[in-house]
Amino acid sequence: MFDWLQNLADWLVYGVFGLEESSKLGIAVNFFFYDTIKILILLMLITTLMGLVNAYFPVERLRDFLQRKKLYGLENLLASFFGAITPFCSCSSVPLFIGFVQGGIPLGVTFSFLITSPLVNEIALAMFIGLFGIKFTVIYAVTGILLGTIGGMVLGRMGLEKYLSDWVQNLIKAKTEASEAYRAEQVPFKERLEAVIHEAWGIVKSIVIYVIIGIGIGAAMHGYVPENFFAQYLGSGQWWTVPFAVILAVPLYSNAAGIIPVIQVLVAKGVPIGTSIAFMMATIGLSIPEGTLLKKVMSTRLISIYFGVVTLFIIISGFIFNFIL
């Protein structure tokens, strides 16, 4: 989908700037340009799409339905499944998360998507099959979806909506009022589209600094943190290596395609498979860059609760993997 963007980043960084492809600086700068542009494009497209959905369809009715009906976690499972079929990393999932919250989708359901989306996707599954076989792939995919489902259910029952940022609260209120006005006045599509694009662009401009800072941190880590460092400290197989692996991984940032080959190296060097997968889940599912992006839509307390719950579930998953594999 974004091959053209990767080619553009390669041409700009290695051709125009003249950086070496194998150098740490070259890798970091390439990663920065590619992910920054990709996330801004996604943010613009998804915000525009959600704006049109809100203008034409009564999203608040869906919200009320989900809040009123007892679906016993089915809505979280569906959100997790949707996350599994979308090819986004943790930072790329944030624009869609904003769109969900903006559209009035319950926060717990939205969290289910945010948790699963970076963990399970077609790239991760294809690489997993090639490197670890079908058995590990199925277990990993089911675990990722269940992690998102249960994590979203737990977070949804904690009443965390009050910890969304004032920016999001105002955005939701304005969007609801605008949607009702659009439907009442029967505004022509052209005028409606222009208004939606204008509003989407305003959202992009308001969050761009968070994107640049977050991806900048991730790019530095992506280019300069050596994989041998982790193999050295995670290979003992002691019980504490699973939580230690997750704690080490949270500051990092990578997508599935970037981290799975590293996981293969860790396993080959003697790191237990459960410890390695827990490290991978934390790397692609939680990161400082993601937290930086989420700071625009969540309070620090909500980010801490979200990271804490998901970290705990990933640690439990790592122990389970080590036990059954």
- Across the range 299-320, mean pLDDT stands at 89
- Distance between CA 192 and CA 197 in Å, rounded? 9
CB 62 within 8 A of CB 105: yes
- Distance between CA 90 and CA 36 in Å, rounded? 13
CB 92 within 8 A of CB 211: no
- Distance between CA 131 and CA 82 in Å, rounded? 25
Query: Is the pLDDT assigned to residue 149 strictly greater than 90?
Result: yes
Phi, psi torsion values for 298, nearest 5 degrees: -130, 155
Residue 22 DSSP symbol: T
Task: Report which residue type is found at 199.
Answer: E
Would you state the pLDDT for residue 66?
Answer: 52
Structure tokens belonging to residue 68: 């009123």
Count of domains for the chain? 1
Least trusted range by pLDDT, from 87-91, 127-131, 298-302 = 87-91
CB 244 within 8 A of CB 233: yes
Single pTM value for the model? 0.65
Query: Is the pLDDT assigned to residue 325 strictly greater than 60?
Result: yes
Q: What residues have CB less than 8 Å from 114, skipping those under 6 apart?
A: 83, 93, 94, 97, 148
pLDDT tens string 225-265: 665 666 676 766 677 888 988 888 877 766 666 677 677 66
Residue 308: is it exposed, middle or buried by C-beta count within 10 angstroms (0-12/13-18/19+)?
exposed
Q: Strand pairing partners for 298?
A: 164
pLDDT tens string 162-188: 888 887 777 666 665 555 555 545 667
- Other CB atoms within 10 A of residue 1 CB: 6
Query: Is the pLDDT assigned to residue 157 strictly greater than 70?
Result: yes
- Distance between CA 126 and CA 192 in Å, rounded? 41
- Across the range 125-154, mean pLDDT stands at 83
Residue 257: is it exposed, middle or buried by C-beta count within 10 angstroms (0-12/13-18/19+)?
middle
Structure tokens belonging to residue 210: 């968070």
Structure tokens belonging to residue 228: 């041998």
Across the chain, where does the E strand assignment appear?
none
Polymer length in residues for the chain: 325
Element (H or E) spanning 203, and its range? helix 189-224
- Whole domain around residue 148: which residue ranges? 3-324
CB 262 within 8 A of CB 126: no
Give me the residue label for tokens 């999932």. Answer: 93
- Distance between CA 38 and CA 89 in Å, rounded? 11
Distance of CA 196 to the CA centre of its chain: 24
